[in-house]
């Protein structure tokens, strides 16, 4: 919206946002955007660097779309563009256009584009066209300023720019080598004029603009009169980022001072206010300062608060601290209020549940070594003539029963090879110790068998009694739990512990804990069957063809695995009485069905071994 349209912008409701940078794999971005939305953030700032402009043009559009899909508004920052905007990204443009770079007061040229360069202004407009085409909601002109000497390796902070030919043309004569009041006024006017031009370009395309000024009204990088910026046509939101540690100032008073200046300036000119706070570079001891800064900004009437950046930049060595995870939790809670589940919208609940579930696979992966060792031991027992027996109660028992029920039809496992015992009906059944012991004994469990006991808490009485009975009988005992130092693990020979953290609904282990158990059981049964040779070339050649869909699947599996014609496969399946494994061995080994069956039985059901391969 153009400021000169005389339409006063209505203030937005309290909102919170975070910067996000560095990740360009969209599936990972999707997870992180869902995480932001689940935490209660309403906006995200994506960094659009020159490298992105050159190599990730369409990818960035996908990233914006992914952000919008979870309900986040999107700002686009010219990250390190020309080295005249904030950000750690390097500039390709200054490398390709050294003649357009700034000139120091002592005559040296440095690697930062001159704000008065027509070529650089044209490049900034091209960049803006791109980010608008990506669908961003606002262009965020971040810390536009003349070069900071330290950013180009200069130790002398008194050095300043710019005295290039473009500046001389606008100044009306060569820019003097002394930083006189006239020169300083010219430098400020050049920044404002640059912003006027790029804001007008974005506004003409129907886009919104945010300008974020450094928290300074003096010095070589500050703007002495913020009104000059706030009154610019095309400005939607005026922002500042009072990072107190950078300026060696106390958090509360420093943030309060600039929050007040920001709010008063925005009210005067009818634009929205936005204030940025750092979560990078902070330790746990500095969290109270961060919270005080947030409180000060709100007390001064600024409700649109953002932080730099996602996960307190714990992924970036230069900006991280060992306490980044704690700082991220603290700033998120302070900015968003950690809304209770009951107050969330349905879409927000979906985001929250999705994000929480997405953490489960990583928790299972962390238990990968223990899980693999358990599977090897289980497969060895079954290959020696034993059984896989699941034991559980409640959600854990139902998941175990489901997994056991699907093994036979999927892999051709013979009846009784994989079974499950589950506590009876009613929630009190899980407390029945005698039933757990009796159910296990009724199976005549023995040393050849493997028993997998499943319990989120690792303390369910029924399941614990069943595993104790299995241990007494000499069976291999495996505990699948979601808690540390559990009683079930103490009984087991092997423990697969997947700690998933608090549930969205406290105590409801049917959520993340249930998902974790399903993933672990999937891995146990599937990997065990693969180790036993119940698949071939990654195909379900042991599938039991009990309906038309499964008969066609078995047929296609044999076609793919054998490379033979459908007619040959149909003939082989008929001769094998529908057994895909027998038909496959007959086709590949060139033997009759009876011989194929003998080979399969002698190989313990493994097609690969029956064909002369190794287990």
User: Is the distance from CB of 92 to CB of 127 less than 8 angstroms?
Assistant: no
Which residues, in sequence order, are bridge partners of residue 479?
A: 453, 495
Closest CA to 188 of 130, 229, 141, 155: 229
Query: Active site residue: 311, 430, 468, 495, which one?
Result: 430
Known catalytic residue at 406? yes
Whether residue 459 has a cis bond before it, omega within 30° of 0: no
Whole-number Å distance between alpha carbons of 76 and 237: 13
Could you tell me the two tokens for 601?
């039985």
Active-site residue, from 88, 329, 406, 571: 406
Q: Which of 212, 159, 215, 222 is nearest to 187 (CA)?
A: 222
Buried (b) or exposed (e) across 94-112, using 16+ Cβ within 10 A?
A: beebeebbbbbbeeebbbb
Closest CA to 387 of 472, 469, 475: 475
In 3D, which of 376, 449, 404, 382 has the Cα closest to residue 604? Answer: 382
Which residues make Cβ contacts (< 8 Å) with residue 343, sequence separation at least 6? none
Q: What is the 3-state secondary structure (H, E, C) of 225-286?
A: CCHHHHCCCCCCEEEECCCCCCCCCCHHHHHHHHHHHHHHHHHHHCCEEEEEEECCCCCHHH
Torsion sign, CA atoms 201, 273, 79, 131: negative
Among residues 283, 509, 541, 524, the alpha carbon closest in space to that of 411 is found at 541
Residues annotated as part of the active site: 406, 430
């Amino acid at each position: 919206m153009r400021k000169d349209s005389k339409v006063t912008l209505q203030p937005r409701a309290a909102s919170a946002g975070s910067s996000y940078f560095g990740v360009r794999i969209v599936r990972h971005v999707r997870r992180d955007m869902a995480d932001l939305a689940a935490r209660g953030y309403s906006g995200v700032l994506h960094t659009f660097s020159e490298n992105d402009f050159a190599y990730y043009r369409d990818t960035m559009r996908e990233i914006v779309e992914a952000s919008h899909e979870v309900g986040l508004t999107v700002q686009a920052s010219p990250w390190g563009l020309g080295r005249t905007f904030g950000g750690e990204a390097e500039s390709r443009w200054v490398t390709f256009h050294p003649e357009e770079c700034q000139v120091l007061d002592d005559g040296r040229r440095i690697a930062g584009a001159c704000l008065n360069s027509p070529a650089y202004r044209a490049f900034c407009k091209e960049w803006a066209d791109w980010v608008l085409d990506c669908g961003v909601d606002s262009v965020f002109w971040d810390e536009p300023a003349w070069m900071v000497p330290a950013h180009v390796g200069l130790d002398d902070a008194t050095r300043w720019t710019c005295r290039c030919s473009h500046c001389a043309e606008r100044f009306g004569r060569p820019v003097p080598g002394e930083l006189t009041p006239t020169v300083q006024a010219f430098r400020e006017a050049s920044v404002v004029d640059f912003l006027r031009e790029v804001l007008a370009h974005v506004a003409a395309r129907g886009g919104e603009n945010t300008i974020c000024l450094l928290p300074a009204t003096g010095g070589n990088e500050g703007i002495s009169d913020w009104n000059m910026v706030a009154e610019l046509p095309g400005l939607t939101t005026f922002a500042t980022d009072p990072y107190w540690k950078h300026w060696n100032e106390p958090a509360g008073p420093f943030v309060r001072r600039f929050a007040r200046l920001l709010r008063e300036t925005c009210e005067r000119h009818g634009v929205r206010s936005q204030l940025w706070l750092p979560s990078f570079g902070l330790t746990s001891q500095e969290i109270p300062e961060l919270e005080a800064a947030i409180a000060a900004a709100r007390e001064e009437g600024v409700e649109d608060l953002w932080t730099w950046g996602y996960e307190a930049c714990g992924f970036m060595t230069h900006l991280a601290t060992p306490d980044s995870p704690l700082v991220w939790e603290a700033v998120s809670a302070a900015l968003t209020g950690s809304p209770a589940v009951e107050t969330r919208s349905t879409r927000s609940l979906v985001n929250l549940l999705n994000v929480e579930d997405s953490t489960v696979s990583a928790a299972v992966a962390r238990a990968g070594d223990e899980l693999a060792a358990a599977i090897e031991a289980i497969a060895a027992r079954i290959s020696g003539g034993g059984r896989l027996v699941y034991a559980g109660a409640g959600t854990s028992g139902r998941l175990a029963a489901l997994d056991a029920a699907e093994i036979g039809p999927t892999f051709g496992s013979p009846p009784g090879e994989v079974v499950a015992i589950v506590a009876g009906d009613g929630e009190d059944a899980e407390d029945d110790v005698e039933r757990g012991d009796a159910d296990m004994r009724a199976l005549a469990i023995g040393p050849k068998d493997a028993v997998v006991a499943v319990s989120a808490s690792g303390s369910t009485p029924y399941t614990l009694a069943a595993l104790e009975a299995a241990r007494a009988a000499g069976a291999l005992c495996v505990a699948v739990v979601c808690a540390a130092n559990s009683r079930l693990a103490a009984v087991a020979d092997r423990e697969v512990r997947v700690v998933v953290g608090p549930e969205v609904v406290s105590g409801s282990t049917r959520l993340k804990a249930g998902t974790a158990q399903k993933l672990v059981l999937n891995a146990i049964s599937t990997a065990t069957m693969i180790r036993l040779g119940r698949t071939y070339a990654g195909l379900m050649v042991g599938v039991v063809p009990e309906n038309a869909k499964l008969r066609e699947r078995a047929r296609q599996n044999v076609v793919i695995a054998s490379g033979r014609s459908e007619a040959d496969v149909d003939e082989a399946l008929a001769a094998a009485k529908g057994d895909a494994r027998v038909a496959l061995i007959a086709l590949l080994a060139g033997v009759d069905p009876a011989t194929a069956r003998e080979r399969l039985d002698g190989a313990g059901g493994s097609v690969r071994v029956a064909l002369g391969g190794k287990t």
